[in-house]
Structures are given as structure tokens and as C-alpha cells.
Amino acid sequence: MTAQAEEGKEKPSGTYEAGCHCGYIKFSVKLSPPLPEYDVLDCGCSMCAKSGYLLIYGVKLQGKQEDVKWHGDSRSRCSVYRFNTKRKDQLFCSRCGTSLGIDFRESTKPKFDGYGISARAFYGIDLNMLRYEKGNGLQSVKPAGDLSGTQYELDEREREKGEKEHAEPVAS
């Protein structure tokens, strides 16, 4: 087969159904190559550790929105949590608490424009059959370190600082 014929040949792919535990949020993900050929990232940062994320970044290789298809209004049903740089949405179901993944679409352009989907969100997948890559997320995003248990206090300090800046001067 010529190089041109190989280039024109469609790469193998798989489409997988995913969603939360209670079924309130559902979506499908097209991965090329299929899921068993991916290295799933076990990141190790405080958020991934607390959320139980095992992330699949396959959608970044396509660079197309249609690689994640939200069923009905499922995307708008996702609750969002932001921390640290507050540039990416951590997606979860507000009803059952399932951690679904991370929306990087606007936060890291042009380097990455897609989703990191948790392997735990895929229906009918045997997690023991997947390949894993250990990550050192705890040291790769600044400020490096375990941010567990700190975001509430940081947000409160920012809120109080904003209130003081916007407070009207007291007349004497």
C-alpha cells in the first residue's frame, strides 16, 4: 500500500457512552485509536486524587468539538468547580456527585482545546484492562503542592478583600 493510500485510510476508532452514576448527565466520546490503546493518566495532583480522576485526553488529538457529544442538555446540567488558576472547569453531577472530567476548551488554547474525560465515567469499561501512566500533577501546575483543603479559605480572603475595596467611605 502506498503512503498516500495509508494517509487516506481512516484510523481505527471507538465511540463510548459515558455519564454520571444517576443518569442525569450522559454523553458519548469518540476516540481514535480506541480506548484500550490509550494510556490513561493517573495524575496525582490534589484535585485528581480527591476526585478519583483517571483521565483520558484522547479528545485533544482530534481537536474537534464533535468528539464529545452531550446528550440532550447534559452539558448545561454539569456543575462546575474551579480552583488554583480558575481557568478550567472541573465537571461533575450535582445530583450524584460523579466526577466526569475537565473542560480545557478555553483555558489552554492553542496547546489543547478539548476535554479530559475520566475513565470512571465510561459505562461498561473494565478499568483493570486499561493501561495507566503515572503523572506528577502535584508538581506540574504552579503553585506546586497539595492544594487540598485550601480553596475555600482563599476564596473567602478574595471575597473579603473585594468587599473592603468596594466599601463606601464612612462620613465623619
- Pick the more confident residue, 139 or 34: 34
Average pLDDT over every residue of 101-123: 81
pLDDT 10s digits, 32-47? 888 888 889 998 888 8
Banded model confidence at residue 77, pLDDT cuts 50, 70, 90:
very high
Report the percentage of the chain scoring pLDDT > 90: 36
Banded model confidence at residue 24, pLDDT cuts 50, 70, 90:
very high
Asked if residue 165 has pLDDT above 50, the reply is yes
Instruction: Tell me the domain boundaries of the chain.
Output: 9-137
Q: Are the beta carbons of 73 and 83 closer than 8 angstroms?
A: no
Predicted pLDDT of residue 149: 66
Predicted pLDDT of residue 99: 96
Q: Residue 118 to residues 7, 109, 142: CA-CA distances in angstroms?
A: 30, 21, 22
Average pLDDT over every residue of 13-36: 93
Banded model confidence at residue 107, pLDDT cuts 50, 70, 90:
low
Question: Across all residues in the chain, what is the average pLDDT?
Answer: 81
CATH architecture observed for domain 9-137: Beta Complex (2.170)
